[in-house]
Chains A and B, each alone.
Chain A
Amino acid sequence: MGEGRALSGLYEVILRDYLSEGSEADLYSALNLGKICVEEEIGPDELVGLHLAALKRFMKEDKAELTVEKLLQSLNLLVEVMVAYGLCYRNYIESKIRNRQLEQELEIAKKIQTSLLPTRLPKLPNIEIGVRMIPAREVGGDYYNTMELENNEIGIWVGDVSGKGIPAALLISMLNYAIKGFSFNSAIREPNKTLQKLNELICDNIDTESFISLFYARLNRDANTLIYANGGHEPPLLFRQSTRQYFLLEGDGLVLGVEKGIEFEETEVKLHPGDVLVFYTDGVTEARNEHQETFGFARLKALVGKNSTLTAQSLADRLINFVLNHSQMKFTDDLTLMVIKVL
């Protein structure tokens, strides 16, 4: 309402000036006024009302006689305002329609993305898996998957696709199908070879500006080993309950989709009962609070150590809740966190 009152005052000043001097400068001001009215969402009916009210006040206060000439002259000003208003309004409506289309597309992208994520996690006797993912308002590019493979192994995938929206959703869709194909192909079992193959595929099929960070591990439940390769993803954390030590699952390897022919380092670690594995995306560690301070890896690490006795799902929930509290729910990137506990 404040703007409305200020605007009616401004309108009156311009009209009064124009009626007494008939200056082009006043008409020019009226043009700008028309634009402001659209921005302030003042309707055309209100604008005509504004004109009428200003005209009446002018007659009353200046004791001016409203001749036909003066009335017509005043209409020149209204025409000026309305022409600018009409144009701005059309542009405003067009941009609104464009935005609505964009929102619908984002909605579709979001559906594609969530439909690709696993609907249930493998339930295994000596392994506990917990996941929590919160997509940002805009469609982000986080990806995770776990699946039971042959030889009592489970495959674990966590990744982050560059970009957002529909391009990211399509990239994830491609990645998902490729991963499913490769996971059950016994000719390429090793995580490093798998990432290598995926990299070739991605390089051949997506534009050079897109890329994917991807971590892949095979957890063998008989031997209690984890064999992994890391394609430029945030190194997952291994917390060893028995010694209370922390390890980072690092390994040489670039993000996928940038350069053909690159190789990935493969590493094997032994797992012990009580061990906690935490996989996450950069949305977690880079979530910022009001002082622009990131959540950070150190905080994540400390919280894992403190809460390591919780079940995998409770730990994932608790960690994500800490991130949400830190960022006061104002996170801009997807948050994905997966916890695997060896029982």
Chain B
Amino acid sequence: MSEFEEFIKEAKKRKRVILVNIENEWDVVMARREIRRLAEEVGFDEVDQARLTMSLAELAKNIILYAGKGKIFMWKSIHKGEVNVNILAEDEGPGISDWDLKRGFILQKSTGLASVKQLADKFFLKSSPGRGCIVGIKKILRK
């Protein structure tokens, strides 16, 4: 099982996962509030909290823009003594073609994904045309 597949499994199976359905801008605000609370609880400073809320907002806006609706999962995890905050954004929208992915098109264009990738410690993306899009990010707490 690939690292991303495990990441997805973690999002779906964990007990303490926060799930927010994304359909409109208010849902984005609500999800931001949740991730900020989670990041604060874990011990991220205000700047990293802002980075996480920004990443989440970009992912959520992409869901609304391209798929209309979708889900955002957030949870904290501890792995080999490392504390992480994780976000998984999932939609069933039109997806991204392999061709666009290969060209890096989606990461260069102003889809906001480029910013999300820059801010994260780990970034996963899985998508194909007609089958929606799953994006995962992990941010590690630096001590």
Contact A83:B54 (CB < 8 A) given known A76-B46, A91-B114: yes
Chain A: how many interface residues by the 8 Å CB criterion? 16
Give the complex CA separation of A79 and B50 in angstroms.
7
Task: Give the CA-CA distance A66 to B47 in the complex, in Å.
Answer: 22
Closest chain B residue to A34, Cβ basis: B54
User: Which among B7-15, B26-34, B122-130 touches the partner chain?
Assistant: B26-34
- What chain A residues lie within 8 Å of B46 (beta carbons)? 75-76, 79
On whether A80 and B118 interact (CB within 8 A), knowing A24-B32, A28-B32, the answer reads: no
When the two chains form the complex, which single residue of B32, B47, B51, B115 contacts A27, counting CB atoms closer than 8 Å?
A: B32
Q: Is A90 an interface residue (CB 8 A)?
A: yes
Given known contacts A31-B57, A75-B46, is B115 in contact with A91 (CB within 8 Å)? yes
Given contacts A75-B46, A76-B46, A79-B50, contact A28 B115 (CB under 8 A): no
Using known A-B contacts A24-B33, A24-B36, A28-B28, determine if residue A80 contacts B53 with beta carbons closer than 8 Å. Answer: yes
- B47 close to A83 (CB less than 8 A): yes
Give the residues in chain A near B29, CB-CB below 8 Å. Answer: 24-25, 28
Q: A28-B28, A28-B29, A28-B57 are in contact. Are A87 and B115 (CB under 8 A)?
A: yes
Which residues does chain B contribute within 8 Å of A27, judged by CB atoms?
32, 50, 53
| Chain B residue at minimal CB-CB distance from A81 | B50
Residues facing B in A122-162 (CB within 8 A) are none
Q: Enumerate A2-54 residues with CB–CB distance to B below 8 Å.
A: 24-25, 27-28, 31
Q: Which residues of chain A are within 8 angstroms of B50 by Cβ–Cβ distance?
A: 27, 76, 79-80, 82-83
Q: B54 to chain A: which residues have CB within 8 Å?
A: 31, 80, 83-84, 87
CB distance A87 to B57 under 8 Å?
no
A58-89 interface bits toward B, Cβ cutoff 8 Å, 1 = contact, 0 = none: 00000000000000000110011011100110
**A31 CA / B119 CA spacing, docked (Å):** 14
The A185-232 residues at the B interface (CB cut-off 8 A) are none
Tell me the B103-143 residues at the A interface (CB within 8 Å).
Answer: 114-115, 118-119
Bound CA span A125–B119, Å: 73
Cβ-defined contact, A90 with B118, below 8 A: yes
Measured in the bound complex, the distance between the Cα atoms of B121 and A244 in whole Å is 77
Complex Cα distance, B99 from A231, in Å, reads 35
Partner of B47, one of A24, A25, A79, A90: A79
- The docked-state distance in angstroms from the alpha carbon of A90 to that of B118 is 10
CB distance from A209 to the nearest CB of B (A): 16
Contacts of A87 in B (CB 8 A): 54, 115, 118-119
> Across the interface, which residues of B come within 8 angstroms of A80, CB to CB?
50, 53-54
A151 to B25, CA, bound (A): 79
Task: With CB as the reference atom, state the residue of chain A lying closest to B34.
Answer: A24
- Interface flags for B16-56 (1: CB within 8 Å of A; 0: not) read 00000000010011101100100000000011001101100
Closest to A80 in B: B50
Question: What separation, in Å, do the CA atoms of A90 and B117 have in the docked complex?
Answer: 13
Closest chain A residue to B45 by CB distance? Answer: A79
State the Cβ distance, A326 to closest chain B Cβ, in Å: 37
CA distance A24 to B32 in the complex (A): 7
Assembly CA distance A28 to B57 (angstroms): 8
A29 to B: closest C-beta gap in Å: 10
Which residues of B58-104 have CB atoms within 8 Å of chain A's CB atoms?
Answer: none
Residue ID in chain A nearest B53 by CB atoms: A27
Tell me, in angstroms, the Cα distance from A249 to B11 when the chains sit together: 72
Residues of B close to A28: CB separation below 8 A: 25, 28-29, 32, 53, 57
Can you list 27 A-B contacts (CB < 8 A)?
A: A24-B30, A24-B32, A24-B33, A24-B36, A24-B53, A25-B29, A27-B50, A27-B53, A28-B25, A28-B28, A28-B29, A28-B32, A28-B53, A31-B54, A31-B57, A75-B46, A76-B50, A79-B47, A79-B50, A80-B50, A82-B50, A83-B47, A83-B50, A83-B51, A87-B118, A88-B115, A91-B115
**What residues make up the interface of A, taking CB atoms closer than 8 Å to B?**
24-25, 27-28, 31, 75-76, 79-80, 82-84, 87-88, 90-91
Q: Given contacts A27-B50, A27-B53, A31-B54, list 7 more A-B pairs with CB under 8 A.
A: A24-B32, A24-B33, A24-B53, A28-B28, A76-B50, A83-B54, A87-B54
Report B's interface with A, CB cutoff 8 A.
25, 28-30, 32-33, 36, 46-47, 50-51, 53-54, 57, 114-115, 118-119
